[in-house]
Chain A
Amino acid sequence: MRCSTKARGGRISAVAQFEKSFTLQVPSSTQNLALIREFVSAIGAQAGFDEKDVMRLQLAVDEACANVIEHAYDLEATHEVTIRALIDDDLIRFEIVDQGKGFDPARIEEQNLDALIRDRRSGGLGLRLIRSIMDDVQYQIVPGEKNELRMMKRLKKHTA
């Protein structure tokens, strides 16, 4: 496991803007989902999210990483999952990176909830949760090379 942090500071007019980035890299085992959630919890709290939203962030990242472990890597624990977190002024971004199989987001997004429930091992329920929680979700899929899920949540948005 490798965990590193770095912070960049700058000034625009009279207002200081800070952007902090954190990286956690873990073996691709579901056992590490707990560690991943602890990482997200600490960073979410540092970014100013309340307890309820921190748990939502934990859930979104957990779902993304569980999908990587189960589907991109077929539950093989010999690979790595990288979680990058970036705190900006009023938002937090997460990037989940793997080198596994990848998937077609469009195929999952077309399924309705009933289909997702029946096909619960597809990972579609997790993606539905991620989309419900985060304000923006983007994928860059290059199967076998590099897959990246980028998601963002604004600090000031408090969903019901």
Chain B
Amino acid sequence: MSTNFRIERSELGGAVVLALDGFLDAHTAPQFENAISSEAEAGHLHLIADCRKLSYISSAGLGVFMSFIEEIREKGGDIKLSGIEPKVYQVFEVLGFHELFDIVDNVEAAGALFDQGSRRKD
């Protein structure tokens, strides 16, 4: 059954990488919300969501990104997304969310954007 969702945390340079694995829906979104909330509270504002193993996302998952992005950007940080599979990416497209976030091919590219201090999308 497709209920599994896991988050693995690692660091890349000065950024925190949250590798999302599985199905991010209304059932599992609170887990992701807690993870981002913990990072934000700890002052870790350069966040990379590694979506290579993300199989599914619904509006509950998108809502987690949206609920933190404003606060994190106001404090000089950002959430960048990497490695989204096409079938998952289409969900971002349907709502126009791909216009709001930097979405790159891999975590290294996301880390490089942080290193350059650049943000392509506000």
Contact = CB atoms under 8 A, between A and B. Distances in A.
SS class, residues of chain A in contact with chain B: helix
A133 B56 CA distance: 16
B91 interface: yes
A63 B58 contact: yes
- Chain B interface size range: 20 to 34
B13 interface: no
Contact of A59 (B1, B27, B58): B58
A42 to B, nearest CB: 12
Interface stretch (B36-44, B59-67, B72-80): B59-67
Contacts, number: 72
A30 B56 contact: no
Contacts of B117: none
Given A31-B27, A34-B23, A66-B25, A51 B95 contact: no
A128 interface: yes
B22 to A, nearest CB: 10
B23 to A, nearest CB: 6
A59 B60 CA distance: 11
A140 interface: no
A132 B95 contact: yes
Q: By CB atoms of chain B within 10 A, which of A35, A52, A129, A133 has the most?
A: A129
Nearest 7 A/B pairs, CB to CB: A30-B27, A120-B63, A66-B26, A125-B59, A34-B3, A34-B2, A126-B59
7 contacts: A38-B2, A56-B90, A62-B58, A66-B58, A66-B60, A129-B94, A129-B95
Interface of B: 1-3, 23, 25-27, 56, 58-60, 62-63, 66-67, 86-87, 90-91, 94-96
Interface of A: 29-31, 33-35, 37-38, 51-52, 55-56, 58-59, 62-63, 66, 69-70, 113, 117, 120-121, 125-126, 128-129, 132-133
Given A34-B2, A129-B95, A132-B95, 8 more contacts: A30-B25, A30-B27, A33-B26, A33-B27, A34-B27, A59-B56, A66-B25, A120-B67
